[in-house]
Amino acid sequence: MDWLDPLDAAMITADIVSNPLNIGAVLILSPPPSAGPGYVDDIYRDSLLAGAPVDPRLCRYPRRGVETAGGWVWREADAIDLRQHYRRSTLARGAGRAGLWHLISALHAEPLDRSRPMWMAYLIDGLDNGQFAFYIKLHHIVMDGVAGLQTLTGALSADPNRRSMPAFHADRYGPLPARHGLHVHNPLAMLRSALGTATSGVALAQRVLTSQVTSALASLTGDTTMPPVAAPYVRFNGRLGPERAVAAASWPKSRFQAFAPLAGVTSNDVATAVIAGVLRQWLSDQGELPKRSLVAICPITVHGHELSRSERHGNMFGAWLCPLGTNLTDPAERLSLIHRSMSEGKRHVAARGATASLLLLATSIAPTVLLPMLPFAPKVRVGYNLPISHVPGPRSEMYWNGAHIDEIYPISAVYDGQTLNVTTCSYADRIGFGYIAGREIVPDVAEMIPLTERALTELERAVGIG
């Protein structure tokens, strides 16, 4: 039998007793100039009639029963009925972007049917200027967010004249890859990857022990290294309700790149500092800004590190707990703190390896996501307050069957203890910010979009950008 790994089994069980762990992405597209009034209907029909083999990852589903002694195993679908996986929707007249995000919030909260492959795709028209949206959602056990975005953008082309392109669900990669070969960004997937490769023996144990001592000393003497369970408890660390709230928008990449010559920081540092400014203002408006800094868990790509044999085919992302400086009033000071912390994190992950860095974070991830499941969970300090991820998208303008891809937004997972998730995605000359939260936790998540512009403007002024 093809058993689900323990963390995947736990996540699919959580669907039954708690909330669905769905991830997804949204593409905003403009039809080609030659498109007629039924263009989106034609795309929908062609998607249903596509005859190409389906990606093997989208052909299996979890199953348990008497024959599996109650354990979860993978089953291969005998056939894929695309009518069960594709839906067509039109926004009400005048609904605009607000209506789109309201619809996607509702769709993202709906559980996926466990009796068939756990993915759905939606074509949604009715946006201004003839734009339409393509929204794909999958359960986290199908593939992680980075792999899903890569699969989605892999169906695109830089050629605006190319037609008869493969659908998202088409098999373009051959046999199903091993689970440990996927890149991961989500904290739960990070933990799975670390536990799955924690068999490298003495060398890994030495790196973990050395890292524990080094991190403990650094946390006592500096402000850029966070010990376990050092983040203040805020509403983002509570129980998740059944509803979701999604909002997204994009900004010119040049605004983030302009900080480099003045402050010596990366665009990701700037984006993280902007999110920190948003959270500081939003919590202050609620009268809930803690005196201690919020902490984000941030993935770090491994570059230039000589991987051990166990890591060579495993996770290529480490992670770091980054203080966001939400206790600082000066935006430039927050940016400096984030830059120094993330620089230290990159050195730490490069020196210790991805697996060791993730194993060290297990003591921060586990209490953050497990304590809220208890009936009387203490509202004390947690390991981190939210994940902040920066996903690289296509660097050039992309098209799908002649339709221009205007914007790309990942829609990440939220769960108990982590009810807010912020992901940015760079695409061509813009950076998109995607916010998702439990609606009961952040009912006005759309307000984070103007707060993002405000935080970016304040940061520009603080460092002297006109």
Domain boundary pick from 163, 181, 199 = 181
Domain assignment present for residue 400? The answer is no
Domain assignment present for residue 222? The answer is yes
Say yes or no: 233 and 366 in one domain: yes
Say yes or no: 229 and 169 in one domain: no
Say yes or no: 108 and 38 in one domain: yes
Query: What's the CATH number where 39 sits?
Result: 3.30.559.10
pLDDT single digits (tens) 212-265: 444 443 444 455 788 888 999 999 999 999 999 999 999 999 999 999 998 999
Structure tokens at 167: 């659908």
12, containing H or E segment: helix 6-17
Say yes or no: 53 and 127 in one domain: yes
Which is nearest to 251 in space by CA: 424, 465, 100, 442? 424
Phi, psi (deg, nearest 5) at residue 186: -70, 140
Q: Record the pTM.
A: 0.86
One digit per residue, the tens of pLDDT, for the chain of length 466 reads 789 887 788 788 877 777 888 999 999 999 999 999 899 999 999 888 877 889 999 999 999 988 888 899 999 998 899 999 999 999 999 999 999 999 999 999 999 999 999 999 999 999 999 999 999 999 988 987 777 888 888 889 999 999 888 888 998 766 554 443 334 456 655 555 555 544 444 443 444 344 444 444 344 445 578 888 899 999 999 999 999 999 999 999 999 999 999 899 999 999 999 999 999 999 999 999 999 999 999 988 764 433 343 333 334 578 899 999 999 999 999 999 999 999 999 998 888 777 777 788 888 887 887 777 776 666 778 999 999 999 999 999 999 999 999 999 999 999 899 999 999 999 999 999 999 999 999 999 999 999 999 999 999 999 999 7
Please tell me the total count of domains within the chain: 2
Q: What is the pLDDT, as a whole number, of residue 151?
A: 84
Q: What is the DSSP letter of 128?
A: G
Domain assignment present for residue 403? The answer is no
Amino acid present at 327: N
How many residues would you count in the chain? 466
Domain assignment present for residue 134? The answer is yes
Domain assignment present for residue 404? The answer is no
Domain boundary pick from 181, 212, 240 = 181
Say yes or no: 445 and 386 in one domain: yes
Question: CB–CB of 162/399 below 8 Å?
Answer: yes
Other beta carbons within 10 Å of 355:
27
Beta bridge partners, 135, equal 26, 122
Domain assignment present for residue 405? The answer is no
Largest CA distance in the chain: 67
Q: What is the DSSP letter of 55?
A: P
Q: For the packed helices 267-285 and 448-463, what is the interaxial angle rounded to 10 degrees?
A: 120
- Residue 390 annotated to the active site: no
Domain that holds residue 131: 6-181
Say yes or no: 71 and 205 in one domain: no
Question: Strand locations in 219-357, DSSP E?
Answer: 244-252, 295-301, 317-323
Say yes or no: 360 and 379 in one domain: yes
Say yes or no: 445 and 334 in one domain: yes
Other beta carbons within 10 Å of 395:
11
Between CA 414 and CA 181 the distance in angstroms is 23
Question: Catalytic: which of 85, 108, 139, 140?
Answer: 140
Domain assignment present for residue 401? The answer is no
Domain boundary pick from 116, 148, 181 = 181
The tokens 């002024």 sit on which residue?
A: 461
Say yes or no: 214 and 305 in one domain: yes
Amino acid present at 207: R
Say yes or no: 173 and 280 in one domain: no
DSSP assignment of 330-342 equals: -HHHHHHHHHHHH
Between CA 23 and CA 8 the distance in angstroms is 14
Give every CB contact of residue 361 below 8 A, 6+ residues apart in sequence.
187, 190, 191, 194, 297, 319, 321, 383
138, containing H or E segment: strand 132-139
In our burial notation (b when 16+ CB lie closer than 10 A, e otherwise), range 190-212 reads bbbbbbbbbebeeebeebbeebe
Q: What is the DSSP letter of 54?
A: B
Structure tokens at 365: 């991830």
Say yes or no: 159 and 259 in one domain: no
Domain assignment present for residue 33? The answer is yes
Query: What's the CATH number where 250 sits?
Result: 3.30.559.30
Say yes or no: 358 and 448 in one domain: yes
